[in-house]
Amino acid sequence: MRDLLKTKIPMALPAMLAVQSFGTMCGFAGAVVVVQASADLGVRSTNIGLFTACLYVAAMLSGLSAGGILARFGVIRSSQFALLATALGLILAAVAPGWPMVLAAAALIGLGTGMLNPAGSHILSRHAPLRWQPFVFSVKQTGTPMGGMLAGLLLPPLIAFYDWRLALAAIAAIPLITLLGLQLIRNGLDDDRDPGARIDLAGIIDALRLVVTSRPLLTLAIAGYFFTFAQLALLSFIVVFLVQAKGLDTAVAGSVFAIIHGSAIPARIAWGAMAGRFVSSWFLLGLIGLMMSASIVAMSYFDQTWPFWRTAIVAVGLGVSTNGVLGLLLSEFARLAPPDKVGEATGGGQFFLFFGIVSGPPLFGLVVEHGGGYTNAFHMIAAVAFVAGGYLLCTAGRNRDTL
């Protein structure tokens, strides 16, 4: 631990944790307000899948361009741009007169979201000793469930007191304040920026080529695609499922949403502490995939007669599994990348992860509407997670040396 404290990690890690938390909060806000917003806008609540898809298509593209942006402007300035985009996206959604502008707001949030992981990976891999990287990355990635927990806790009472539009506008103040605070540490952390660095299409292509030409990176990217496919399908629809299909109050459903995210915070730290020390990240990701599948199946049988403690246990299982994989995946992308290509490798790997996010929620919504309802949809994403986890477990021994 002493070697870690001698680096810039004590300054960089809290900054990236805040950026990840508040940027992700903006991305999850739509899943919490969807029931009220869809009624006001005159669309079906299952359209949250299209909202999520628009958000992450934009995130995929901005993530691919992250390498050049980070090199030219530095991590802190790029993070400030990201937080500004997510905040403005929330504000645009709050004032949107109709569904098309809400989708434009989703794309704006996505432009910021796509920068979060490459920015954090770039600076943490630069300053953290190699043996500490799985732990440091997992701590930073607790910002993702923390952001979801904040959305689940802050938005329902704001909706109850005011409405969904004012609720979105109110929480947009949080990333705006944060980006101003980041200016205080910019000089200390953006010391590697190169004002002459190019931002062009070639950089985007290079990021994808870096992943697809490396077997370990490509394998992780494909497994990550299946994990995020299941993860965001679940997280996008869990509130709608509990409120509209099962009759829960929005505040109670928001609490379940918060438990899913809140339980992932200590879980991500624990997974990061275990990975590489007691068990390989490859094997651990496989176990988490099987846990994800079992928890999703359990939630598919939810009934309003369940006592809250039973619902909470299932929610914890969902949190530690569906929200537990990303930190391990990102630390592996960074570890396997060439030293000067961490941002590109993370952006390229993130393209596959976000493609799972883009395709999962819309397909989940289609199965709900036309394929037999929520039970079949839950079982579909459980099967996807099971396949990914099972494959990683079966190949863990073969890939121990390369990974």
- The whole-chain average pLDDT of the chain stands at 84
Mean pLDDT lowest among 120-129, 169-178, 255-264, 299-308:
120-129
pLDDT for 279-314, tens place per residue? Answer: 777 788 889 999 999 999 999 998 888 888 899 999
Q: Which residue did the predictor score with more confidence, 149 or 400?
A: 149
Strands (E), 128-238: none
Q: Among residues of the chain, what percentage have pLDDT more than 90?
A: 28
pLDDT at 77: 92
Give the HSE-up count for residue 57: Cα atoms under 13 Å, Cβ half-sphere: 14
Whether pLDDT at 204 is above 70? no
> CB within 8 A of 319, min separation 6: which ones?
145, 259, 260, 261, 262, 263, 264, 267
Q: Over 70: is that where the pLDDT of 403 sits?
A: no
Q: Which residue has the tokens 């995946």?
A: 329
In this prediction the pTM is 0.76
DSSP 172: T
* pLDDT at position 85: 96
3-class state of residue 279 by DSSP: strand
Per-residue confidence (pLDDT) for residue 401, from 0 to 100:
45
Q: Which of 74-88, 137-151, 264-278 has the lowest mean pLDDT?
A: 264-278
Q: Is 56 a residue whose pLDDT tops 70?
A: yes
Give the side-chain half-sphere CA count within 13 A for 353: 27
